[in-house]
């Protein structure tokens, strides 16, 4: 019973950085706490009623001292701020070559889908030593993807993609929690992250589950939903071809616009094009595309995006 942990395991590159900042902040905290406590104890003992010490003319203020305890803490704070913020930059921005896993949160589970097509629930298997980026969205309320061993978390919002990345450094099984209160079974919205040797991971990917990649599943969906009817080569309606769109700058007109302006065709743009086609109309086209708001789930949307990304521009579209 007594060998309970007092400090969490460290299993990612980010975890080391975060702990480093944490220790620096703790050092500052202990310094100030120590300072105040020692002054406290000294004064309380020395100046308690009845001691024979010099009490004449207690100072009522001292500008130099006041300025000192504004300026010194300010300098220390700014140093801490710079350190903590630089680490945050690294935590926030995923490297370009990260392995992307899609996450959909719903009450009360996380569904995860690997680009190779494998799906898991409340479990995430990842290879060691490779940056992994989670592309996340919620189907209902706000959830939060939290892996203490990686020292990071990010909320999953309805209607908007958010991302989180980490690079695992230690093989093992770690906790996965939902950190944002989401109703009845919030405390049970939890699971595990398995960090594996790359070879084990390849084997894991192969056993069970579909071998159809996410992009392929998206392509199938694209046909099944008749997107191709308009966007395909034999067009019934005049609609843009989607090859090379992802990752490009698209000229669009918003309501009331006279001249088009360019927006980056990313997940957000593709998602909105499918759910709210009238919001941003590709310049030179009629607003003929129907909204798929009530027909496609978040899982389907992510598949379609994976497909459109796979025929898009740039190195991100390599798969």
Partner 1 sequence: MTLVREPVTAHEDYLDAGYSLKSWLLTTDHKRIGLLYMASITFFFFVGGAAATIMRLELMTPRGDVLYTPDSYNRLFTLHGVIMVWFFLIPSIPAVLGNFLLPIMIGARDLAFPRLNLLSWYIYIVGGLLVLGVLIFGGVDTGWTFYVPFSSMFSNTNVIGAAVGVFIVGFSSILTGLNFIVTTHTMRCEGMTWERLPLFVWSMYATSLILVLATPVLAITLALLAAERIWGVGIFDPKLGGDPVLFQHLFWFYSHPAVYVMILPGFGVISEIVPCFSRRTIFGYKFMAGALLTIALVGFVVWGHHMFVSGQSMYAGMVFSLLSFIVAIPSGIKVFNWTATLYKGSIRFDTPMLYALGFIGLFTIGGLTGLVLASLGVNPHVHDTYFVVAHFHYIMVGGMVMAYLGGIHFWWPKLSGRMYPELWGKLAALTVFIGFNLTFFPQFVLGYLGMPRRVYEYAPEFQVLNVMSTAGASILAVGYVLPLAYLLLSLRYGSRATANPWRATGLEWQTESPPPTENFVEPPVVIEGPYAYSPEAAEEADHGHH
Q: How far apart are CA 22 and CA 24, in angstroms?
A: 5
- What are the φ and ψ backbone dihedral angles of 85, each rounded to 5 degrees? -70, -35
Instruction: Report how far apart the first and last C-alpha atoms of the chain are (Å, whole number).
Output: 49
Does position 116 interact with partner 1 (CB under 8 A)? The reply is no
Does position 156 interact with Cu ion (CB under 5 A)? The reply is no
Among 15, 98, 132, 189, binds Cu ion (CB under 5 A): 189
Does position 301 interact with ligand HEC (CB under 6 A)? The reply is no
Q: Which residues pair with 194 in a beta bridge?
A: 125, 173
Does position 213 interact with ligand HEC (CB under 6 A)? The reply is no
Does position 5 interact with partner 1 (CB under 8 A)? The reply is yes
Q: How far apart are CA 74 and CA 59, in angstroms?
A: 24
* Per-residue binding letters, 158-197, with partner 1 (x by CB under 8 A): xxx-x------------x-xxxxxxxxxxxx-x-------
Q: Which residue, 26 or 241, has its beta carbon nearer to ligand HEC?
A: 241
Among 84, 90, 292, 313, binds ligand HEC (CB under 6 A): 292
Q: How far apart are CA 99 and CA 146, in angstroms?
A: 18
Among 16, 33, 173, 261, binds partner 1 (CB under 8 A): 33
Does position 264 interact with ligand HEC (CB under 6 A)? The reply is no
When computed from its CA atoms, the radius of gyration of the chain, rounded to whole angstroms, is 27
CB of 194 to partner 1, least distance (A): 16
Q: Which residues pair with 126 in a beta bridge?
A: 195
Q: 10 Å Cβ neighbour count for 65?
A: 10
Q: How far apart are CA 10 and CA 25, in angstroms?
A: 18
Q: Which residues bind ligand HEC (CB under 6 A)?
A: 225-227, 229-231, 237, 239-240, 242, 245, 250, 265, 270, 273-274, 277, 281-282, 285-290, 292, 304, 308
């Amino acid at each position: 019973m007594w060998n309970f942990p007092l400090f969490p395991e460290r299993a990612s590159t980010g975890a080391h950085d975060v702990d480093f900042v944490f220790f620096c902040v703790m050092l500052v905290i202990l310094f100030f706490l120590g300072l105040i406590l020692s002054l406290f104890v000294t004064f309380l003992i020395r100046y308690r009623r009845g001691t024979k010490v010099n009490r004449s003319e207690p100072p009522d203020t001292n500008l130099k001292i006041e300025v000192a305890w504004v300026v010194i803490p300010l300098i220390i704070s700014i140093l801490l701020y710079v350190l903590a913020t630089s680490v945050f930059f690294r935590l926030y921005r995923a490297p370009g070559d990260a392995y992307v896993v899609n996450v959909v949160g719903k009450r009360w589970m996380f569904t995860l889908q690997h680009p190779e097509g494998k799906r898991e629930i409340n479990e995430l298997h990842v290879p060691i030593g490779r940056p992994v980026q989670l592309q996340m969205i919620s189907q209902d309320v706000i959830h939060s993807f939290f892996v203490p061993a990686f020292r990071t978390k990010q909320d999953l919002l309805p209607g908007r993609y958010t991302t989180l990345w980490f690079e695992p450094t230690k093989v093992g099984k770690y906790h996965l929690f939902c950190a944002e209160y989401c109703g009845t079974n919030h405390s049970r919205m939890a699971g595990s992250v398995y960090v594996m040797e790359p070879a084990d991971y390849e084997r894991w990917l192969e056993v069970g589950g579909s071998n159809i990649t996410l992009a392929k599943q998206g392509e199938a969906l694209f046909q099944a939903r008749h997107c191709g009817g308009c966007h395909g080569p034999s067009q019934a309606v005049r609609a843009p071809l989607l090859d090379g769109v992802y990752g490009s700058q698209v000229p669009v007109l918003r309501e009331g616009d006279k001249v088009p302006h360019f927006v980056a065709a990313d997940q957000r743009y593709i998602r909105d094009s499918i759910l709210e086609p009238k919001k941003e109309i590709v310049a030179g086209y009629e607003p003929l595309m129907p909204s798929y708001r009530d027909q496609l789930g978040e899982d389907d949307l992510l598949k379609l995006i994976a497909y459109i990304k796979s025929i898009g521009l740039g190195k991100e579209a390599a798969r």
